[in-house]
Amino acid sequence: MKRLLLPLACLSVGAASAADLDMANKIRSEGFYNSHVMHTLEHLTDKIGSRITNSPQMDEANRWTMEQLKSWGLENAHLDPFDFGRGWSHDSASIHLIAPREESLHGIPVAWTPGTQGKVEGELMMLDAVTEAELQQYKGKLKGKILLMGDPPPIGKPKTIIFARHDSKKLGELKEFDPSRPASHEGWMTPARKDTRLQSYNFNKALEAFLAKEKVAGVIYRSSRQGGLVRVFGKSHRVGDTFPVPAIIIEQEDYSLLQRMLDRKETPKLALDIKARFHDEHTDAYNTIAEIPGTDSNPEVVMVGGHLDSWHASDGAVDNGVGVAVAMEAVRILKALDVQPKRTIRIALWSGEEQGLHGSRAYVEKQFATRPEPKDKVERALPRYLWKSPGWPIETKPAYDKLSVYFNMDNGSGRFRGIYTEGNVAVKPLFTDWFGPYMDLSTGAISNLSTGGTDHESFDDVGLPGFQFIQDPLDYSTRLHHTHIDSIDHVIEDDLKQASVIMAGFLFEAAMAEERMPRKPIPAAPSKLKQERQKLETEKERRTRERDARKALDTKAYGI
């Protein structure tokens, strides 16, 4: 334990606490009764709209957030560039079934795919191939066709419950430590999983070349949510590597109709009109950075942030306008209270998160720690997530020792019910302490588990403390995440105010704490033993995959 704490029993509002109770009252007052959080969010979502990395809208969002933070008195506000790739944006997309009957379908283009240059019409075909050999069977048959990309099974029943808050049972479960989980997020990406991903990457590259060569008119993907929701994704944004034909994602219900038409040997015809374009003015993307400087000489740093970029299906409200608005609101509250923190409080609004945490990873690399790139030239040319190793050893820079903690928000607009330690169990007494003045607003559950998939991972991966709060799930995963209804309409204002207040409280306490945050051991390359076991696993995985493929081919051949 790094700090003298009162017994846990004392930690409730009104009792003596290691947290600054006067400051907590001020933060509440500013955060609840003079909130700017919805105004900030409304600007990001309604006025700017979707903010796909390196789009003109994202440029505008970078500029606006920087100016806004400046106007609140933050210092050193700037845009921090990193190498990303091509920009992309779209204005509109329409897709109509024109035969055997007419119907307007509902679709949104795949990001980083070209527009149609006006309306194109074409017959529909199914492309049901998962190997390059299967692909060859379509040779010479696809010119001018519009393709359904795959033949999935029918739509199942919907989720029963689409909106929920954590109950005490769930919060209780979250508190259990689970040693079977890897120590860091990188642990999830085993060599076997990478191998599968590489296979799929290689097939997709062959597929793309094939589609271009065969002069396909356009391709259609199925939304990964049912119930009329269009859930989007993107293709490669890397220069010289972008998808060759117009591509659109449509509702599952529309996709299934087209599948059944093809099953019945009808010949559906479609009209596609997609206005989309690449932007090659700059290949850098930008993180918005600003600070409340610390009063210590050569101060340590506490950070807060969330990703500013979004997908293009709607306005990126719960993913992740809310995380940005709460991070901005937290520093606005502290600035409005004219805090004089010992440590510097720095806000970072990341870009390129949706394409693989690019902004935060580049920032961590620039500021805190580097890792060697693959020696093999071919491997180095692949997207980073396909490199065999994340790069060992981690080499730290001077600022590495100066960063105390990074708090991230990126799990929708649900209120903060507690916090995940990411397995850094030593922080538990501190967090318990800091939740003290807010226990009427939150259950303050401390979970030893980790929550993955977003920018705190970039810190955690190099051994720096990066945390996220336990948020009520609401309808984030069931219907909003990356879908066309991720608009400000589904954000819960009271929850955002609560989150802003607790975020401000945690930032303040972290900035004033006597010592730097405790850390997990710095990650190191897997041991020889572990490497050997992983090699065996990868081999087994490959054999299984090949056997499954042979079985699938048999099934096709015999029609069973």
DSSP 234: B
Whichever of 311 and 467 has its CB closer to its own copies, that residue is 311
Nearest to 301 by CA among 249, 348, 269, 370: 348
Per CB under 8 A, 492 contacts its own copies: yes
Q: Which run of H or of E encompasses 406?
A: strand 403-408
From 74-82, 259-267, 373-381, 421-429, give the range in contact with its own copies by CB under 8 A.
Answer: 259-267
Stretch that binds its own copies, among 152-160, 171-179, 327-335, 346-354 (CB under 8 A): 152-160
Site membership for its own copies, residue 46 (CB under 8 A): yes
Of the residues 12, 190, 199, 256, which one makes contact with its own copies according to CB under 8 A: 256
Does residue 158 bind its own copies (CB under 8 A)?
A: yes
The region of 144-152, 293-301, 479-487, 535-543 touching its own copies under the rule CB under 8 A is 479-487
Q: Determine if 155 is a binding residue for its own copies (CB under 8 A).
A: yes
Contact 61, 89 (CB under 8 A): no
Q: Report d(CA 342, CA 297) in Å as an integer.
A: 9
Rule CB under 8 A: choose which of 62, 113, 471, 487 binds its own copies: 487
Count of other CB atoms within 10 angstroms of residue 288: 27
Closest to 240 (Cα-Cα) out of 200, 285, 283, 178: 283
Identify the residue among 26, 194, 417, 479 touching its own copies (CB under 8 A): 479
Do 26 and 489 contact (CB within 8 A), yes or no?
no
Smallest distance from the beta carbon of 261 to its own copies, in angstroms?
7
Please answer whether residues 86 and 237 qualify as being in contact, where contact means their C-beta atoms are separated by less than 8 angstroms: yes
- Nearest-approach distance from CB 462 to its own copies, in angstroms: 38
Question: Which part of the chain contacts its own copies (CB under 8 A), choosing from 153-161, 176-184, 301-309, 386-394?
Answer: 153-161
Note whether 15 binds its own copies by CB under 8 A: no
Question: 247: number of CA atoms within 13 Å, CB side?
Answer: 21
Closest distance of CB 7 from its own copies, Å: 39
Residues of this chain, 392-451, that bind its own copies according to CB under 8 A? none
Q: How far apart are CA 227 and CA 213, in angstroms?
A: 35
Neighbouring-strand partners of residue 406: 303, 466
Question: Quick check: 260 binds its own copies (CB under 8 A)?
Answer: yes
Q: Which residues pair with 269 in a beta bridge?
A: 99, 123
**What is the per-residue binding string for its own copies in 92-111, x denoting contact by CB under 8 A?**
xxx-x---xxxxx-x-x---
> What tokens does 296 get?
């210590």
- DSSP bridge partners of 538: none
**Residue 17 or 252 having the CB closest to its own copies:** 252
Q: Which is nearer to its own copies, 51 or 307 (CB)?
A: 51
Closest approach, Cβ 60 to its own copies, in A, equals: 10
Tokens, residue 508: 């303040």
54 is written with which tokens?
């390196």
Give every CB contact of residue 551 below 8 A, 6+ residues apart in sequence. Answer: none
CA dist 422 and 517 (Å) reads: 13
Q: In what order do the strands lie in the sheet with 120-127?
A: 103-105, 87-99, 269-279, 120-127, 146-149, 218-222, 247-250, 107-109
φ, ψ for residue 127, nearest 5 deg: -110, 105
Piece in contact with its own copies (CB under 8 A), picked from 224-232, 375-383, 449-457, 538-546 = 224-232
Query: Where in 504-543 is the site for its own copies (CB under 8 A)?
Result: none
Q: Is 91 in the site for its own copies (CB under 8 A)?
A: yes
Q: Which stretch binds its own copies (CB under 8 A): 185-193, 251-259, 412-420, 507-515?
A: 251-259
543's enclosing H/E stretch is: helix 528-558
Out of 49, 359, 444, 518, the only residue in the binding site for its own copies (CB under 8 A) is: 49
489 binds its own copies (CB under 8 A): yes
**Exposed e or buried b per residue across 440-455, where buried means at least 16 C-beta atoms within 10 angstroms of its C-beta:** ebbebbbbbbbbeebb
Please, which residue, 104 or 555, has the CB nearer to its own copies? 104
Q: In this structure, are residues 226 and 252 in contact, taking their beta carbons and an 8 Å threshold? A: yes
Token readout for 314 is: 């709607």
185/344 Cα distance (integer angstroms) = 27
Q: Does 346 bind its own copies (CB under 8 A)?
A: no
Question: In this chain, which of 61, 135, 217, 229 binds its own copies, going by CB under 8 A?
Answer: 229
Q: Assign 301 to helix, strand or coil.
A: strand
CB of residue 159 vs its own copies: minimum separation in angstroms? 7
What is the nearest approach in angstroms of its own copies to the Cβ of residue 123? 18
| Among residues 4, 161, 378, 557, the one that binds its own copies under rule CB under 8 A | 161
Residue 377, token pair as written in the block: 């030239």
Q: Checking DSSP bridges between strand 120-127 and strand 269-279, what pairing results, if any?
A: antiparallel
User: What CA–CA distance (Å, rounded) separates 161 from 89?
Assistant: 34
Closest CB 482 distance from its own copies, rounded Å: 13
How many other CB atoms are found less than 10 A from the CB of residue 550? 10
> Can you tell me whether residue 405 is helix, strand or coil?
strand
Q: Does 227 bind its own copies (CB under 8 A)?
A: yes
Q: What is the dihedral of CA 526, 530, 531, 532, to 10 degrees?
A: 160
Considering only residues 26, 484, 497, 520, which one is a binding residue for its own copies as defined by CB under 8 A? Answer: 484
Count of residues binding its own copies (CB under 8 A)?
Answer: 53
Is residue 116 within the footprint of its own copies (CB under 8 A)?
no
Q: Is 224 in the site for its own copies (CB under 8 A)?
A: no
**Piece of 77-85, 91-99, 356-364, 417-425 that binds its own copies (CB under 8 A):** 91-99
Report the residue from 73, 191, 228, 374 that binds its own copies according to the rule CB under 8 A.
Answer: 228
Q: Which of 319, 475, 495, 509 binds its own copies (CB under 8 A)?
A: 475
* Main-chain dihedrals φ then ψ at residue 83, nearest 5 degrees: -70, 125
Q: How far is the CB of 47 from its own copies (least distance, A)?
A: 8
Interface with its own copies (CB under 8 A), residue from 490, 497, 516, 520: 490
- Which stretches of the chain bind its own copies, using CB under 8 A? 42, 46-49, 57, 91-94, 96, 100-104, 106, 108, 154-155, 157-164, 226-230, 251-253, 256-257, 260-261, 264, 314-315, 475, 479, 483-485, 487-490, 492
